A and B are shown apart, each in its own frame.
Chain A
């Protein structure tokens, strides 16, 4: 043990060399000025401040940020997967409309099956093309179902576009 301690004394002597390492001349004369000018420039509220705030608030989040900083490929992979999710979202956002349109068309065709004569005489798509645009949204309750039974639906009122009549 005493040998070990003696050796440590030699080691301590050697470590004294570290105390003789000095920065360039005049370095400390401008150090505090640099710090204060960076504070004045608002560096205290900058990126480092935010990360430090995160670190004190949530070490878990801070470790995630550190991991992302240390491995930029993770950020790249994350961004790519985000783009893919976005792309899939856009594609799927288009599909439900078409997908929902199918069954509704089927249901209208079902109505047509129920009343083939009516369906053949008054095709839905060509019911009236005289300047009235037809919505593709299924509004089955507004289809002339009631007229199928020969009685007028009291909720419906015939619209007249003739002014002054």
Chain B
């Protein structure tokens, strides 16, 4: 259905639409909005999903994702090509999101998206609800709420690493490049964040 409903992998920049990403970036840098529209279409789902999982709010994610793309367009001239456009764009989105969350100072307003139909048929989730969850009457919506609340308890850097790696499927190396730290830091943040989440969600994942 959507890219965010699948385990994410780094998109092949040259695969979709038969257009080379480098060409699109060059054209967009010259002000070609059609080329930029194509770039937006390529990455909109992943950028939106990352921001949404960080904010747990659709409206905020919509605003921030649009602003990230607009900012990227205005800053295209400064894009030197040292990293891929995808990583560079991700960095802009991540910085915008972190700044936004710092401004909001932990005052969260949760506005969650609906769970798609496929979730009810996901074997992992079915097993989790029917076998592993002590509270047998828990449903997916409640689980979704608890999961998001637990994520929001994490600090922004820790939440970002969990979202990028465990939800979006971004590799450690890419996360290090996006967030601007070394791989060791990414690994340690991921371990700590998982431990924290495990504690918050103990009722739902205990065997």
Chain B residue numbers with a CB within 8 Å of A55 are 99
Does the CB pair A28–B197 fall under 8 Å?
A: no
Q: Which of A17, A23, A40, A49 is within 8 Å of B74, CB to CB?
A: A49
- Which of chain B's residues have a CB closer than 8 A to the CB of A44? 70-71, 73-74
Say how far B40's CB is from chain A's closest CB, in angstroms. Answer: 4
**B127 & A13 in contact (Cβ 8 Å cutoff):** yes
Interface residues of A in 1-51 (CB under 8 A from B): 4, 6-8, 10-24, 27-28, 31-36, 38-40, 43-45, 48-49
Binds A, one of B18-26, B117-125, B173-181: B117-125
Q: Closest chain A residue to B43 by CB distance?
A: A32
B48 at the interface (CB under 8 A from A): yes
Q: Name B36's contact: one of A10, A21, A27, A36 (CB within 8 Å).
A: A36
Interface string of B39-55 (1 = CB under 8 A from A): 01100110010001100
How far, in whole Å, are A72 and B65 apart by their CA atoms in the complex?
26
Chain B interfacial residues counted at CB < 8 A: 60
Q: Does A104 contact B (CB under 8 A)?
A: no
A128 at the interface (CB under 8 A from B): no
Q: Which residues of A contact B44 (CB under 8 A)?
A: 28, 31-32, 35
Residues of B within 8 A of A27 (CB): 62
- Residues of A within 8 Å of B71, CB to CB, are 44, 48-49, 52
| Residues of chain B within 8 A of A13, CB atoms compared | 124-125, 127-128, 205
Shortest distance in angstroms between A41's beta carbon and chain B's nearest beta carbon? 10
Across-interface contacts of B124 in A (CB, < 8 A) = 13, 16
Tally of chain A residues near chain B (CB < 8 A): 40
Chain A binder among B9-17, B79-87, B140-148: B140-148
Chain B, residue nearest A5 (CB): B194
> Does A70 make an interface contact (CB < 8 A)?
yes
Are B66 and A34 in touch, CB under 8 angstroms?
yes
Q: With A10-B128, A31-B44, A32-B41 as known contacts, state yes or no: A17 contacts B119, CB within 8 Å.
A: yes
Q: Is A66 an interface residue (CB 8 A)?
A: yes
Q: How far is the CA of A91 from the CA of B52 in the complex (A)?
A: 55
Given A22-B1, A39-B70, A66-B103: A14 touches B53 (CB 8 Å cut-off): no
- Complex contact A23–B113 (CB within 8 A): yes
Complexed CA–CA distance, A44 and B113 (Å): 28
Task: Name the A residues within 8 Å of B143 (CB-CB).
Answer: 14, 17
- Do B122 and A20 touch (CB < 8 A)? yes
CB <8 Å contact, B140 and A38: no
Contact B74 A35 (CB under 8 A): no
| B interface with A by C-beta (< 8 Å) | 1-2, 4-7, 33, 36-37, 40-41, 44-45, 48, 52-53, 58, 62, 65-67, 69-71, 73-75, 99, 102-103, 105, 112-116, 118-119, 122, 124-125, 127-128, 132, 140, 143-144, 147, 162-163, 166-167, 194-195, 197-198, 201, 204-205, 207
A interface residues with partner B (beta carbon < 8 Å): 4, 6-8, 10-24, 27-28, 31-36, 38-40, 43-45, 48-49, 52, 55, 66, 69-70
Name 6 interchain pairs, CB-CB below 8 A, sorted by A. A21-B53, A23-B48, A23-B52, A23-B62, A28-B44, A45-B74
Since A17-B125, A22-B4, A70-B105 are in contact, a sample of 11 more A-B pairs with Cβ atoms closer than 8 Å, ordered by chain A residue number, is: A10-B205, A11-B205, A19-B5, A22-B114, A23-B48, A27-B62, A28-B2, A28-B45, A36-B33, A36-B40, A66-B102
